[in-house]
Structure 1
Amino acid sequence: MTPSPASATPYEVLGVPAGVSDDELRRAYRRLARETHPDLGGSAAAFRSLQLAWEQVGTPEARAAYDRRRGPATSGSRAPGPGTAGGVPFSWAPPARDAPRTGSQPRARVHGHPGGANRERYLDLMREWVGRGVPLDDPYDEQLVRTAPPEIRHVLADALAEEATVAVVTGLGIGYTIWSDVDAGDEGKLDHVVLGPSGLFAVQSSDWGSELVVSRGELVGSGVPEHEQPVRDLTRQARAVRRATRVSFTHQLIVVPDDDFPPALEQVGRGRRGSTWVLRRSLLAHVLTYGPELGDRTSISDVFEVRERLQQSIRFV
């Protein structure tokens, strides 16, 4: 699996700057180990993240190896070449628009520019952070991205998440249509509108780089900024699109990376215009095919009519 740019660096997990001494690093680890240990009232997820961080920088040898991979944070001039995930090369750069197709099966209809708005925002933020006038040879170089502030990495992670959702829908075949980066008026944008035989879905694709839980009807986690309310934000965005298109959604979905959501699939809200669910990305195809009840399929009798209405009324950001 491709690493997430939103995931915290070991230094961020330990709550210290990258240039801290080994003794200070060790003291920070010991303090956090006491605070996060489950037997002492801490969180199992936080304790697990702490141990993973310590494995990467806990010894002088491991820390030196990590810092060499991480590289300096002074400019955009970095050693070229993609990173690797499990030995397989990966890149956070945008997918090629004219990439060759594999297989002859008809694919879903795709409208809009998935991930486009967030990629533009990421590039603007990255140029501002690096410094105007400083060469930015490869804004997607892993070493550069890892040194950027978390809020910038989160924007890139969301763009990648949106592109991954479109890739899943595309593989479902010609019976599905997806619109991405849909204008939601004052509420910003709705990541995706997905139409298929099983319903009409408002979809948010996000990656906060941390484990997530549902609490009081909202999605929370260490990587979710305090000002973000994913469930409420999606509800407001879906409502704005519904008013503009005069088409009601069957369900609302928040799609997150598999490793970040232990329940795999969980309902977080139900309203008279459909329910809201959080799910792992690997379940998305099944949910879009059979509905979130995974067997209680709701069908749209006239997909063609709904598609035509959406095609005429949807606007993009």
Structure 2
Amino acid sequence: MTLSFAAVGGGATAFYCWRQGLLVTEPGVFVGPIALGAGFAATAGAISSVPISFLRMLRDPYRRELIRFTKEKATAYAAAQTAYESARLAFDARLRMRPANAQTLLTAPFSQEAVRAATPDIRRWLDEAIAQEDTARALAKLGPQFSVWHDLEVGAGNTRINHLVVGPQGLILIESMTARGPVTVEFDSLVQHGRMVPEVLDSLRPRLTAVARAFGIGGVSILLLVYPEAVLVNSRPQRLGGGPVPTFVVGSAELAAALVQGLPGIDEGVGWQLDRLRDNVSEHVRFA
């Protein structure tokens, strides 16, 4: 644009000099005015090119999209930098919390010493792992009339399930529970630290729904909450109220006996129904 303005300015000055007769009478004098006119025109073109270019850029959809994309990339990069810095600080903080005898603890990660030395978030995972191992050992005592699956994913949402059992009383969903204090059943309600905790059952409703959608055939017959013997005051089966399916609380040591003897108030299914249910579960579960 600057060169175009300079050419126009020089041409206009030359035309003016020609009209005044300078090109005939004094041909060497008109070079200065032409250069001066071209210089003024070039300056005006340079100044006006900035807003004109900006307006053209705003009207061009490709350039608008390019500007938007560049801003989004810059924002995403800044967010990633901030997240990286936060993650680095968190990692450094957790590294400082690492116990001095970490190698010794890793050789026996489920020992009482390892659990006591672990950070709270790691201790929670350890407690859950230990609870699931205790439940699995109890379920290993069941006879051939029971089929048992551990650590599963079901449904399109990959819902995690601790244990599934198909037995004479149908499909039983078993969840290994953890707690930091005494657990009791009072007036058909779960009580921890002297406070009712209905949210425990509410948190399990999505798992019951996922199992029912995945397997059909009536869904879950029984929901069993298995607590460690150390925290459950009465380890024998106790029924809870308010659940979408018959729900019981039992200690890990009493789990196998409760399933073999049958949970109260639950009818047994016929053989062909149980065989069909067992095959259906085998086809749809995925081991996590």
- Aligned-pair Cα RMSD in Å: 3.1
Quote the residue 2:28 is aligned against.
Answer: none
Answering whether residue 239 of structure 2 is matched by residue 213 of structure 1, we say no
Q: Secondary structure at the match of 2:241?
A: strand
Unaligned runs of 5+ in 1: 1-71, 81-135
Alignment of 1:76-225 (within 5 A): 76-78=102-104, 138-140=108-110, 142-184=112-154, 186=157, 188-214=159-185, 219-222=190-193
Query: Contact 1:218–1:230 at 8 Å: present in 2 too?
Result: no
Q: Secondary structure at the match of 2:246?
A: strand
Which among 271, 279, 285 is matched to residue 308 of structure 1? Answer: 279
Quote the residue 1:298 is aligned against.
Answer: 267
Q: Secondary structure at the match of 2:283?
A: helix
Q: 1:254 to 1:187 in 2, by over 3 A?
A: farther
Query: Contact 1:219–1:231 at 8 Å: present in 2 too?
Result: no
More helix by share: 2
- The structural deviation recorded for 1:216 is 8.4
Q: Which amino acid aligns with 1:233?
A: S
Query: Contact 1:190–1:234 at 8 Å: present in 2 too?
Result: no
Q: Which amino acid aligns with 2:102?
A: G
- Under a length normalisation based on structure 2, what TM-score does the superposition of the two structures give? 0.55
Which among 93, 99, 114 is matched to residue 73 of structure 1? Answer: 99
For 1:138 and 1:263, the matched residues in 2 are separated by 30
Q: Secondary structure at the match of 1:260?
A: coil
- Under a length normalisation based on structure 1, what TM-score does the superposition of the two structures give? 0.51
Q: Secondary structure at the match of 1:274?
A: coil
Q: Which amino acid aligns with 1:206?
A: M
Q: Which amino acid aligns with 1:260?
A: V
For 1:162 and 1:239, the matched residues in 2 are separated by 21
Q: Which amino acid aligns with 1:300?
A: G
For 1:236 and 1:218, the matched residues in 2 are separated by 20
Q: Which amino acid aligns with 2:145?
A: G
Query: Contact 1:176–1:195 at 8 Å: present in 2 too?
Result: yes
Quote the residue 2:226 is aligned against.
Answer: 255
Q: 1:221 to 1:187 in 2, by over 3 A?
A: farther
For 1:204 and 1:279, the matched residues in 2 are separated by 11
For 2:140 and 2:216, the matched residues in 1 are separated by 25
Unaligned runs of 5+ in 2: 1-97
Query: Contact 1:154–1:208 at 8 Å: present in 2 too?
Result: no
Quote the residue 2:247 is aligned against.
Answer: 276
Which among 227, 238, 247 is matched to residue 266 of structure 1? Answer: 238
1:33-66 CA-partner distances (Å, limit 9, x unpaired): xxxxxxxxxxxxxxxxxxxxxxxxxxxxxxxxxx
Query: Contact 2:211–2:220 at 8 Å: present in 1 too?
Result: no
Q: Which amino acid aligns with 2:267?
A: T
Aligned length: 185
Query: Contact 1:245–1:314 at 8 Å: present in 2 too?
Result: no
For 1:148 and 1:283, the matched residues in 2 are separated by 29
Q: 1:279 to 1:181 in 2, by over 3 A?
A: same
